[in-house]
Amino acid sequence: MDARLYQRPKHAMQSGRARTGEWLLEFERDDRMRADPLTGWTGSGFTAGQIQLQFPTQAAARAYAQAHGLTVEVVPLGPKALKIQAYSDNFR
């Protein structure tokens, strides 16, 4: 089974660094979503996709994955680009 490992990013409404050091392990979907003929909603039988495991370090997450026979892909955190602009730039 394949899994994805990434570090929790800061969301837009967060100014501090709480919970940004955590590592999250999510399972990759192995089947496609299908539409329910009665309701039209999409779903699948892949229940592991609902699980998100949290680890304090990347090493702990890798040890868990190795112990359970998971193939892990580490997703790097995106670049932290800071756009420097003046207040007057809003009125150009």
Domains of the chain: 2-33+50-91 (3.30.160)
Q: How many CA atoms lie within 13 A of 17 on its CB side?
A: 2
pLDDT at 29: 83
Q: Of 51, 29, 54, which Cα lies nearest the Cα of 42?
A: 29
pTM for this prediction: 0.70
| Euclidean distance between CA atoms 43 and 50, whole angstroms | 12
In single-letter form, the type of residue at position 80 comes to: K
Q: Each residue of 20-74: pLDDT tens digit?
A: 889 999 998 878 888 988 998 988 888 888 889 999 999 999 999 999 999 999 9
Q: Of 48, 82, 39, 83, which Cα lies nearest the Cα of 68?
A: 48
pLDDT at 82: 67
Distance of CA 79 to the CA centre of its chain: 16
